[in-house]
Amino acid sequence: MAKNEKQPFIFDTELRLVMLTGLKVRTVADLRRTLALVPGSSIFFHTHHEYLAHNFHKPLHYNDFSVWVSQTLREEALAEKLAAIDLLALTTIRGLREALLKTLDDYTAAKGDVPQECRPDEAFHFCRSKSFILPTGIVANDVPEFFAKLPLITDASLYFHFFEARLRLGRLTSDFSRWLKERDRGDLADAINALNPYIRTLDELKQDIIRIGQGAGALHS
């Protein structure tokens, strides 16, 4: 990755295995208890993997916890509150875990009790991911080349540089913005930072970024 302004941008990609924790829950209380214990990679997985999945329809919720609470426990208001956690405002998995726990605590405190228990075959199973980052072989040596090569990258590459890098590797911002800032294109970095990847498909997100480059005339040096 870019360390100084002479560094090219190296597009990497992510390949991952899903790991199973063997932990499953059937109630909101158990969900809360287990959320406090599972590895951070499990929290990241359940709040992000849907963005990378191919979907026939835009899902009602991208967050697995919300989907399960809504579809299985039928606790719609809680599902909405979990889905409304502002992922873009969080920069650590720890912060995300705390936000989830607080949402569950607040809801339970307000409601008094959430007694529903789902059938055993509808339990929520905690997974996590184990990721490997590899170079794609696509390299951009300057800003115009960066935007010119964006159409070539895969969803997994975009996902890595946007979601994984920011939240899981603690880089605070997307790799794209970081590199552009190092290239003295803070305007483009800020414009990309202003995008909300959590309400766009990866393809839409890619088009948004390309448009930012086009709008700034960055495709031509």
Partner 1 sequence: MTTSLDSYRGVVGSDVVDELVQLADRVRHRRLQHVNSTAVGGGVAELLTRMVPLFRELGIETSWDVIEGDEAFFAVTKAFHNALHGAQETITEEMLDVYRAAQDKNLHDLGQMGDFVVIHDPQPAGLIARKKESGGHWLWRCHIDVSTPDPAVWDFLRPYVEQYDGSIFSMPEFSQELPIPQFMVPPSIDPLSDKNRELADDEITAVVQKHGLDPERPILTQISRFDRLKDPVGVIQAYRLVKRRYDCQLLLAGGGASDDPEGEQVLQEVREAANDDPDVHVLLLPPFSDLEINALVRGSTIIMQKSLKEGFGLTVTEALWKGRPVIGGSVGGIKLQLLNGVTGFLVHSPEGAANRAIELLGDETLRQTIGANGHQHVRQNFLTTRHVRDYLLLMLAMEYRDTDITLLTAKP
Give residues in contact with partner 1 (CB under 8 A). Answer: 10, 12-13, 15-23, 39-41, 54, 56-57, 120-121, 123, 125, 127-135, 154, 164, 168-169
In whole angstroms, the minimum distance from the beta carbon of 81 to partner 1 comes to 24
Q: How far is the CB of 159 from partner 1 (least distance, A)?
A: 13
Shortest approach of partner 1 to residue 36 CB, angstroms? Answer: 18
Phi, psi of 110 (to 5 degrees): -70, -35
DSSP state of 20: E
Q: Which residues contact 131 (CB under 8 A, 6 or more apart)?
A: 14, 15, 16, 17, 164, 168
- CA distances to 124, 133, 142, 155, 176 from 127, rounded to whole Å, are 9, 19, 39, 22, 29
Closer residue to partner 1 (CB): 168 or 181: 168
DSSP states of 35-75 = HTTS-HHHHHHHHHHHHHS--SS--S-SSHHHHHHHHTS--
Write down the least CB distance from residue 215 to partner 1, Å: 28
Q: Of 38 and 101, which has the nearer Cβ to partner 1?
A: 38
Nearer to partner 1, 123 or 210 (CB): 123
What HEC string does 63-74 produce? CHHHHHHHHCCC
* CB closer to partner 1, 40 vs 144: 40
CB of 208 to partner 1, least distance (A): 22
Minimum CB separation from partner 1 for residue 15, in Å? Answer: 6
| CA nearest neighbour of 40 among 70, 54, 19, 15 | 19
Dist CA 97 CA 128 (whole Å): 14
Q: Which is nearer to partner 1, 27 or 154 (CB)?
A: 154
Taking the least distance from each CB to partner 1, the nearer of 107 and 126 is 126
| Distance, C-alpha 172 to centroid of its chain | 13
